[in-house]
Amino acid sequence: MAPKPNPGDNRTRSSIQIFIVAGLCCFFYILGAWQRSGFGKADNLAMEITKNTGGDCNIISNLNFETHHGGEITSTDDSVSEKKVFKPCAPKYTDYTPCQDQRRAMTFPRDNMIYRERHCPPEEEKLHCLIPAPKGYVTPFPWPKSRDYVPYANAPYKSLTVEKAIQNWVQYEGNVFRFPGGGTQFPQGADKYIDQLASVIPIKNGTVRTLLDTGCGVASLGAYLWSRNVIAMSFAPRDSHEAQVQFALERGVPAVIGVLGTIKVPYPSRAFDMAHCSRCLIPWGANDGKYLMEVDRVLRPGGYWVLSGPPINWKVNYKAWQRPKEELQEEQRQIEEAAKMLCWEKKYEKGEIAIWQKRMDGDSCHSKQDESQVTFCKSSDPDDVWYVPLDLQLTNRQFESVKIYRSSLCI
């Protein structure tokens, strides 16, 4: 049988605990009082420093606690400086794009689409006001609804609904535009068109992730490629078809105003897995194929180029296109010749669609070509593209040496 606890032992333990707590409290109280008395170690150190400096606490006399921002001081008093306010421009400037002003564009030469390129106004012609939004402008629809619908007030232009009515580019329905996904070369819709391309190009497995769409129209191809995990960079000139690129942006598709003319496209070399032209009206075979050379520059090895529309299958379609068959035949001959020079392999031609693939071994292919048609030139940077003129030379990224096709001059 266990012995009963002694109440006296419990009282002894409690007394000891109380004594310890009280002792600790007294110790810390005395320690704090000692530190505050000026005899603590830290205080002695401070006093020693003060003594060595002659008792002057202002050790650094030139300290400046004013703000050191980079702004200019416009006033010496305490009044708030006056802010510059830009007023809205007149409503007629709703569609004004400074570097793509239609009135200024028509003053430039039409050769090689120069007048469609960027021409920024000089300082004395620049506006100093805010470009107003169209009357009634609203927040665009969220994706994916924006792929198919755009509020009419955001881009109030109906010309495309009339000019491209049978091609299903865009339709006007009440207070919205509807985009059925059609195009000049794919009136049955972008999805069916992409399926046709995907029968040749490995789009499903992720081989193609980026695409450059030249002459994109309202960018329906780029809009429908999102569901295939392909990001398209679309561009089109600002021409008689109003608001093409604006429609694309309102739909949520990446797009810029641009044209293949006399300067390089503003993208680094090997930036795209695929390039596409659907009746984009670019003379691909002209100027010794310099536009195809630019496509070659931005295509990675193994990338694809798609040409849909004239002059492909000209024998069947020359009457519908209302162009002489001899002219179309020569245009396709030039394209085929330029593609051969670039060592592209033709993979497919059916109906009005032709597909080429840039070879992975372009260097070895080019080394076997007739050197009499090739001139060796000094190398240049293939990524130097901002306002750099298009020329007839191929860069190191395209071939081992820079060469010019059918030319005796090095540019």
- What's the CA gap between 382 and 297, in Å, rounded? 7
- What domains appear along the chain, each with residue ranges and CATH number? 91-125 (no CATH), 188-405 (3.40.50.150)
- What's the CA gap between 203 and 303, in Å, rounded? 11
Q: Which helix (H) or strand (E) holds 356?
A: strand 353-358
**If we measure between CA atoms, which residue out of 275, 294, 286 comes closest to residue 311?**
286
Q: Which two tokens stand for residue 312?
A: 């492909």
* pTM over the 0.85 mark: no
* Sole residue written with tokens 């306002």: 387
Q: Count other Cβ atoms within 10 Å, centred on residue 196.
A: 18
- Cβ neighbours of residue 100 closer than 8 Å, sequence gap 6 or more: 118, 119, 238, 257
Beta pairing partners, 377: 402
- What's the CA gap between 50 and 34, in Å, rounded? 21
Q: pLDDT digit of tens for each residue in the chain (411 aa)?
A: 555 555 556 666 677 778 787 778 787 778 776 666 655 555 554 555 455 555 454 555 555 656 665 555 555 555 556 788 889 999 999 888 899 988 899 999 999 999 999 999 999 999 999 999 999 999 999 999 999 999 999 998 888 888 888 888 999 998 999 999 988 889 889 999 999 999 999 999 999 999 999 999 899 999 999 999 999 999 998 876 567 899 999 999 999 999 999 999 999 999 999 999 999 989 998 888 999 999 999 999 999 999 999 999 999 989 989 999 999 999 999 999 999 999 999 999 999 999 999 998 766 676 666 554 544 445 467 788 888 998 765 544 444 333 333 333 333
- What's the CA gap between 187 and 166, in Å, rounded? 8
- What's the CA gap between 157 and 46, in Å, rounded? 79
- What's the CA gap between 233 and 241, in Å, rounded? 20
Cβ proximity of 15 and 8 under 8 Å: no
CA dihedral over 308, 313, 319, 324, signed as positive or negative: positive
* 8-state DSSP, 389: B
Q: Which helix (H) or strand (E) holds 110?
A: none
Cβ proximity of 373 and 405 under 8 Å: yes
